[in-house]
Amino acid sequence: MIEHRIGTSRRSDVVQVVSKMVARPTLKYFPLSGPATRLMPLLDRSAALIPRLSHTVHEPVVARTWRGEVVTPIDGPTSDGAILYLHGGAFLMCGMATHRRIVERLAQRTGMTVLSVDYRQLPTGRLHDSISDCEDAFHWLVRTGHPASKIVIAGDSAGGHLAFATALRLRDDAAGTPAGIVAMSPWLDFDHMTKLRHHNSCRDAYIPARRLRKVARLVVGDHPELHHSPVNADLRGLPPSLIICAESEVLRCDAELMAERLAAAGVPATLQIWEGQVHAFPVLTDLTPESREALEEVVLFVKEAAAAGAAKERKARRVRPVTSTGVA
């Protein structure tokens, strides 16, 4: 199902202009190798100075290869469902601090435990390392009392890629299917030629399309278009998915392609295309009205997915195994 959200606010118009003037030129010319890359962690460290919401509780998690932060409402979770949140940043930058606000808002609005994951990324880890960390974080949630059937995996941009890739890994390992997937402006196809041919390659206010191939080569090596893209996987058996993207962003083609292939695989999926927004705009939770509205769409989906997972689990418990003689 495809939904188009029409109309834009003045705040979103300002975000568009600032993105075109500041974010896009920075991403276009900032070096991807060399001494300057040491500055990338400063983005997350700077974001850590932003005050945390007073109505949430934060607890650090330290695993063998990843770190995390568990965020819950201050009065404790009101639901036994959980969200595994995977931040974006092109597998190069950002972290728990840059995405703390959307994680806090998700915890507040859903009443669930939210685990934000600081997975390995360049230069210390490549794609398979990132996916392994996310899968291990999912298992951590299960071990701490959250059934797999009540966990929703959510992520933006590169995190949207990891959300699908992790769900595919869990399905293939028979480790338990999550309740749902939320992907906001996901980067799902490493074939950059599709994006260069798309008319949004010149319209995107944030992402310079020609840079995607260079980043992809850093993430997975030479010829990234031939490997590692969730859109090219066998998608059967994945849980219901919500995909959100901006109408003018270059990654819209990834979102549309994934929605099309999920439908062909028999997986329930909703694609929302929002007019006048920038890449991964729901992460800007308190900045624009559309970001808040999109967050509410995510909250509604998460609650429904977790409830459906709980109902499925109850039904499975009521089914008694039957032997060949017909006696349980």
Residue 79 appears among annotated catalytic residues: no
Q: Which residues pair with 151 in a beta bridge?
A: 82
Distances, alpha carbon 206 to alpha carbons 19, 165, 245, 293, 306, in Å: 6, 24, 13, 21, 33
Which residues have a Cβ under 8 Å from the Cβ of 244 and sit 6 or more positions away? 182, 183, 184, 185, 255, 271, 272, 274, 282, 294, 297, 298
Annotated catalytic residue 249: yes
290 is catalytic: no
Question: What does the block give as tokens for 80?
Answer: 């036994």
Nearest to 77 by CA among 306, 231, 285: 306
Q: What are phi and psi of 168, to 5 degrees?
A: -65, -40
178/171 Cα distance (integer angstroms): 9
Q: Report how far residue 250's alpha carbon sits from residue 187's, in angstroms, rounded to the nearest whole number.
A: 10
Give me the residues paired with residue 156 across strands: 184
Out of 130, 157, 241, 248, pick the active-site residue. Answer: 157
Q: Which of 249, 290, 291, 297 is catalytic?
A: 249
Report the alpha-carbon distance of residue 167 to residue 169 in Å, rounded. 5
Q: Which one-letter DSSP state was computed for residue 73?
A: E
Break the chain down into helix, strand, coil percent, rounded to 5.
45, 15, 40
In whole angstroms, what is the distance from residue 315 CA to residue 317 CA? 5
Catalytic residue chosen out of the listed positions 279, 290, 291, 297? 279
SS3 194: helix
Residues annotated as catalytic are 157, 249, 279
